[in-house]
Structure 1
Amino acid sequence: MSNANKPMLQIKNLWKSYGDTTVLENLNKNVAAGEFVTLVGTSGCGKSTFLKMLLGMETQTRGDLLLDDQPIGTEPDQARGIVFQQYSVFPHLTVLQNVIIAREFEKSPLLGKLFGTPKKALVSEARQLLDQVGLSAAEDKYPHELSGGMRQRLAIAQALIRKPRILLLDEPFGALDPGIRADMHALILDLWREHQLTIFMVTHDLTEGFYLGTRLWVFDKVRHDPQAPGAYGARITYDLSVGDMPSDTLNQIQQSLNPADTSSASASGESL
């Protein structure tokens, strides 16, 4: 296989357990550079755990998780940026300062500051990024002066300033009202294309997963043992290219994730 055809990420026989409790079992997937993978599933099924494994905050119990044929590092690095639902901003810094601080510590770990030409270049780059996420007019504001949607835009700019190859989104829009979420959807799609990102996004909203992603993974626990409830973990039960979906698949997924809900979801969808 040529390098051009090699997957960026390889997941091989991956298991994750905590003591006697298995969270994820036997995951096997390949992901190419530039894909936008959305992850849905019931609460506690391991979606966020998998995202943390991609980031390097968690390690697998067995199996392999490879980035460019190499094991993913055990600590977060520049190649992988993450945006959580809870905004990870520094309240005592302005919008512009929040964006540049990570790069300043990266370039000057002892002082945490840059000066002269390097500082001017970084500020210019940060301002271009703030313009892309729609925060140019707010660069001198502090986080408490921003709306929820603006703080989430700031968190995305913080992640992108480090030029990650992989962007990890952990329910980033769950706390936003529908109108702002629609604006954020358009923004993240624009940024995905412009920055040529590979994105993994956890969402509780099935419709959002189908709308944003090029590929949808459904995490579900299919094996159960009443005598040993922690013996089995979730698997990826659906792996779908969004544009190639059979007409009844949405209903099947909705019912598998909400077994108590006997109503059908339309193609326009309901939230999980």
Structure 2
Amino acid sequence: MSRMDLSGRCVLVTGGARGLGAGMAQALTAAGARVMIADVLKDAGEQTAAGLEGGGFVELDVTDDAAWENAVAHTVAEFGGLDVVVNNAGIEVTALIVDVDPDETRKMLEVNILGTMLGLKHGMRAMRPGGAAGKGGTIINIASVAATIAFPAIGGYSATKSAVDRLTRVAAAESGKLGYGVRVNCVYPGLVATDMGMKLAVETAGIGLFESPEAAVGAVVELTPSGRLGEVSDMADAVVFLASDASRFVNGAGLPVDGGMGM
């Protein structure tokens, strides 16, 4: 049996309705897992879940503590357990530091940092000994290459994704110290041509940093030794690896999946 086989694993993916999250959910399902998509986008989430064999959907605002408790309980009840949480939900606000909008930035902090922290909280509570699932497991946080590079107009976003990196390592240390049996790692995706990725290209061009969205994309490619943008499958395969026994001794780590951009 392949070490990448996830048969029998129960997974919850936040922000799984579309984009990277949907690709991750599909790849995890293809590896044999049952996947619960958790998202604020009910219609899109249900549609994506309908395409997953054995999949499900639960509505979740990742900034809401009670909603997290419900989403985890629903997953355990529907699937009979919880082995993997993928904290993928996130938002990006493009702005020069001199033009930062406090309200928009505060929302980004809540989704990207608090949302990840609550996912860690409820995931570890469920998977630790005595929890609703109680068999240990793994949590995968989605950070960004933005946590490792200095790129203009994403100061707030970079700060939130740097925080995700630190949360990952602290959670891994706590889990080990307290005997939870939960591995915690993160992924640093490079730029992918999803709606969010292309929004960044359009907006950085709009504030005059690049002549056009195409020039913005070209600048990213030029900074990437692999010479291309990332693809959803690149990120999804990395998540399957971290969810699997192939990564059984990988813990408290950040995995760059950025074509070398952040080296």
More helix by share: 2
The structure with the greater share of residues assigned to strand is 1
TM over 0.5: no
TM-score normalised over the length of structure 1: 0.31
| TM-score relative to the length of structure 2 | 0.31
